[in-house]
Structure 1
Amino acid sequence: MDVTGIETVDVVIGSIVNFNPVKPISHPGPVNFYMAKAPTGASLAEFHELAPVWFKIYSDGPEFTSSGTLTWPTEFAETIPSSSRRLGGGVYLLRVVHIGLHLANFLNGAQLYVVCAHISVSSGTGTMRPNLLSFPGAYSPEDPGFFINIYHPFPRSYTPPVGDVLVC
């Protein structure tokens, strides 16, 4: 992977990170934000970790209307967890995953749209040990957030896929 020319954005714990797609998200489904810290002494260009290193900082879900239909958000802004002093400063990958559920009533029908950003987090001390995830491998086609009919009958609840949002 050639990362020449990729910019790393400086953020402070408590900063808002916006995800504004070039085109509005047209497929119904959730968006999750994950972060993974680059190993000490390694750059993001050298980051090829398949072990559990990812933790979730944000997960959205649908709004359930009075008519029973689902409405999904299309724009996103999330705060780098400000309540956590255990989020150590350093270089991180921020992974934004939109899960298109328009064909999720078929096994393996959910579609993943993934984008990553390089961020450098200033401040914060310590080592965090939330539930860590691996990509690939965190999702299964049978997960409730992946294998669901969102059209008929309309679901009355939605369980997002894997990982709890980091709350410290």
Structure 2
Amino acid sequence: MMTISRLTHGLSCLMAAIALPLAASVMANEISGTLDGEPQEWHVLSEGDMSTANFSELMPGMVNVTVQGHREERYETQGTLSINFMVMQGAPSEASVTYFHESGLTPHYGTEEEVPIEIEELEIDGENGRVKGRVATSLAYVESMMTEHDHNNVMEIDVTFDVVLAREE
């Protein structure tokens, strides 16, 4: 016959086994680094099965990954950082990086061409995934969609990320 203390211990072990994967996935939603030398942190936002850190399969072997972080824990353009890259046959391509310093889509700072990205870990499995990496580059000012990048007005960014990805259709 099982005693109350053994039952309590068994339930505690079961709760710990359930909580560990949940804690790992919560901890794996970090975007931090420096923007023009100032420390910054961004939040991955999610609702239901949607997330601002996501992937979509364009065709077998070709996946588009977006890591988007918000300065506050709410949807808002100002302060948003977006890192986009493709994965083809398991190998990541270079990335496009954009930082929205104001409340609209323009003006903003971004890469004119794709830049190198370091991927330490990349797992995509069914409906979920995880990516851990780093990108360090210069972001040039873009006044509007009709203007060129202003390479005399740049921000330096060095960001690491470890995020859970959700499948986006």
- TM superposition score normalised by structure 1: 0.30
Task: Please state which structure has a larger fraction of its residues in strand.
Answer: 2
Q: Which has the higher contact order (CA 8 A, sep 6+)?
A: 1
Task: Please state which structure has a larger fraction of its residues in helix.
Answer: 2
